[in-house]
Amino acid sequence: MARRFVVNEKDISNINEDTIAIYGSEVKHIQVLRFNVGDAVTVNDGIYKIVEMKRDTVYLQYIKKANEVGVPSSNVTLYIALLKNDKLDFVIQKAVELGVKKIVPFTSSNVVVKLDDKSRQKRIEKLNKVAIEACKQCGRTDYVNVLNVLNFKNLKETLKNEKRVLFAYEASKDSLKKEINDIKEENINDIGIVIGAEGGFTESEAEELKNIENVKCVSLGTRILRAETAALNLISIVMYELEE
User: Which tens digits make up the pLDDT trace of 30-72?
Assistant: 999 999 999 999 998 899 999 999 999 999 999 999 888 888 8
Asked whether the predicted pLDDT for residue 21 surpasses 80, the reply is: yes
- Report residue 227's pLDDT band, with 50, 70 and 90 as the boundaries: very high
Tell me if 63 sits within 8 A of 92, measured CB to CB. Answer: no
| Of residues 30, 28, 135, 38, the one with CA closest to residue 48 | 38
- How confident is the model at residue 1, as a pLDDT? 53
Tell me if 96 sits within 8 A of 138, measured CB to CB. Answer: yes
**Whole-number CA gyration radius for the chain:** 20
Tell me if 5 sits within 8 A of 132, measured CB to CB. Answer: no
Question: Distance (Å, rounded) from C-alpha 167 to C-alpha 215?
Answer: 7
List, for residues 201-226, the tens digit of each pLDDT value: 999 999 999 999 999 999 998 888 99
Domains observed in the chain: 3-65 (2.40.240.20), 75-241 (3.40.1280.10)
How far is residue 222 from each of residues 14, 35, 169, 218, measured CA to CA in Å?
Answer: 53, 54, 11, 12
Most distant CA pair in the chain, distance: 60
Helices (H), the chain: 25-32, 87-98, 117-138, 152-159, 176-185, 203-210, 227-241
How large is the average pLDDT for residues 106-115?
93
Helices 87-98, 117-138: crossing angle, 10 deg rounding: 40
List, for residues 71-84, the tens digit of each pLDDT value: 889 999 999 999 99
3-state secondary structure of 35: coil
